[in-house]
């Protein structure tokens, strides 16, 4: 394969471009676009203008697909070109074998993308056979779509139904009891908000990107449904042989763009710091299974970063993928993300299956892209809407330690969900 790229003459933001691409795809009877917005592959956004996504039910097959990459003869640093877009749901790892409404995994190959660099320029990038002509027809279709105003699509949604606080309280207390009994150190206990939805999932995503500016936003859609993710968290980034994970653990509410005092309180919180350190160690161990001996380090520990509605504690773990291993091996060793399971991970998975009444679905899985040029990047599928027919679901939860208070954990769920439920309830007119 070879890379073809052009700078496009457009000043559209990624979210406005996405709306126009979706309108064009619908008019042509084509598959909808897929989008990554925020901080992806050193760019502001990567969008596949139209992408057919195929459900995958087996975990081993789902892990293997992003490792199937062509050789690219003239790769350019910074480019993406194309690749596999998709998600891996938490259901792939659920010991109870439960399934949500959406497929366990989906993947689709994009042979061309639009990439917005950090200077705001929009690049058309395509991967074509070495002896094939430049894809001028694809370029023309994309330029025509970007020049055509979107249909002004929106959405409507009913109020989100929450589980009873007492149900979450009891799950938290049961988890604390297991920790006190020495069964594990920490587990992530979650619940599910549900409601009705009609309209455009793409419009919901575009408006959420505009309002919330999430770092790891991702959107995929097809006949099977849609995921609309406003995640702040990186699960995995592999560039060449270098691997990085940035687990988030520790949360306090944020009431404005400035530091309202909770940022400092979070850094000084014994409970939240312990949460983060335990999961950072778990991620270090996960990467140690597939990285070269001695290469795994923690270059950044306990950094406070803002996210929509909350402050988070974030750490970074890095390593060098061992020779002979690919993305399939990397995913098999690390999925599901440690920050949304617990430590030890296997015991946490079993406890989650016993304490959470519903399948998690895509929530706490991973969404992203694997490119033969740029590598692999996946978010942690938190702050993520799952849309199936006329229903919408939002998973929410937090890490439980021996110091956890059940009511405080419920309030954390509400703080995390508040920006998303407000967005859902206030579509543009």
C-alpha 3/C-alpha 128 separation (Å) is 7
Supply 8's token pair: 């496009």
Q: Select which of 39, 153, 207, 233 is catalytic.
A: 233
Q: What is the DSSP track for 324-375?
A: T--HHHHHHHHPSPGGGTEESHHHHHHHHHHH-SS--TTTTSEEEEEETTTE
Q: Are 180 and 402 in contact (CB under 8 A)?
A: yes
Q: Other CB atoms closer than 10 Å to residue 142's CB: what's the count?
A: 27
DSSP at 321: B
C-alpha 114/C-alpha 18 separation (Å) is 10
Q: Select which of 15, 178, 249, 412 is catalytic.
A: 249
C-alpha 397/C-alpha 414 separation (Å) is 9
Q: Are 185 and 343 in contact (CB under 8 A)?
A: yes
CA angle 191, 91, 30 (to 5 degrees): 105
Catalytic (active site) residue 422: no
Q: Are 365 and 89 in contact (CB under 8 A)?
A: yes
- Give the chain's length: 429
Among 40, 52, 119, 131, residue whose Cα is nearest residue 86:
52
Among 49, 66, 53, 24, residue whose Cα is nearest residue 113:
49
Supply 17's token pair: 């471009």
Q: What is the DSSP track for 217-281?
A: EEEEEETTEEEEEEE--EEEEEETTEEEEE-EEEEEE--SSS--SHHHHHHH-HHHHHHHHHHHH
Catalytic (active site) residue 407: no
Give catalytic residue positions. 233, 249
């Amino acid at each position: 394969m070879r890379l073809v790229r052009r700078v496009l003459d457009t000043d559209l933001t990624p979210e406005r471009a996405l709306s126009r691409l979706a309108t064009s795809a619908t008019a042509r009877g084509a598959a909808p676009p897929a989008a990554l917005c925020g901080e992806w592959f050193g760019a502001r956004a990567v969008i596949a203008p139209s992408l057919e996504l195929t459900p995958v039910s087996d975990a081993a097959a789902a892990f293997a697909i992003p490792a199937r990459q062509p050789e690219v003869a003239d790769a350019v640093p910074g480019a993406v070109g194309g690749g596999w877009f998709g998600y891996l749901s938490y259901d792939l790892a659920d010991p109870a074998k439960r399934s949500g409404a959406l497929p366990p995994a989906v993947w689709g190959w994009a042979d061309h993308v639009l990439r917005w660099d950090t200077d705001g320029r929009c690049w058309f990038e395509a991967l074509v056979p070495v002896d094939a002509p430049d894809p001028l027809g694809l370029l023309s279709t994309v330029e025509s779509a970007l020049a055509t105003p979107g249909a002004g699509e929106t959405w409507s949604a009913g109020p989100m139904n929450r589980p009873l606080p007492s149900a979450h309280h009891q799950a938290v207390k049961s988890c604390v009891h297991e920790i006190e009994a020495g069964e594990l150190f920490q587990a992530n206990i979650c619940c599910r908000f549900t409601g009705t939805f009609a309209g455009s999932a793409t419009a919901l995503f575009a408006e959420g990107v505009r309002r919330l500016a999430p770092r790891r936003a991702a959107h995929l859609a097809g006949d099977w449904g849609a995921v609309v993710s406003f995640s702040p968290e990186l699960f995995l980034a592999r560039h060449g042989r270098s691997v990085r994970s940035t687990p988030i653990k520790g949360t306090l509410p944020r009431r404005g763009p400035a530091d309202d005092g909770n940022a400092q309180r979070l850094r000084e919180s014994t409970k939240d710091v312990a949460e983060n350190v335990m999961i950072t160690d778990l991620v270090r161990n996960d990467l140690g299974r597939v990285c070269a001996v001695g290469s795994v380090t923690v270059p950044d520990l306990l950094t406070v970063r803002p996210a929509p509605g909350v402050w988070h504690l974030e750490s970074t773990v890095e390593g060098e993928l061992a020779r002979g291993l690919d993305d399939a091996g990397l995913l098999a060793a690390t999925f599901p993300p440690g920050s949304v399971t617990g430590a030890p991970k296997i015991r946490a998975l079993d406890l989650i299956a016993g304490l959470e009444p519903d399948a998690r679905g895509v929530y706490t899985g991973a969404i992203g892209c694997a490119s033969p040029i740029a590598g692999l990047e996946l978010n942690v599928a938190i702050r993520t809407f799952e849309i199936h027919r006329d229903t919408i679901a939002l998973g929410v939860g937090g890490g439980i330690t021996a110091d956890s208070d059940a009511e405080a954990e419920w309030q954390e769920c509400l703080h995390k969900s508040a920006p998303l439920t407000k967005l859902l309830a206030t579509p543009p007119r």
